[in-house]
Amino acid sequence: MLDHALSTSYHGVVVDLAATTFVSIAVTRELAAATRRADRNRLDLRLVTGSPRLGLMLTTTGTLPLSRCYDSLPSALGG
Round to whole Å and give the CA distance between 71 and 35: 18
Each residue's pLDDT tens digit, 58-70: 888 877 776 788 8
Domain count, the chain: 1
Each residue's pLDDT tens digit, 1-53: 777 777 777 788 899 999 988 888 898 888 888 888 888 888 888 999 888 88
pTM: 0.80
CB atoms < 10 A from the CB of 77, how many? 12
The domain that holds 10 is classified in CATH as 3.30.750.24
Domain that holds residue 64: 2-78
Identify residue 62 by its one-letter amino acid code.
G
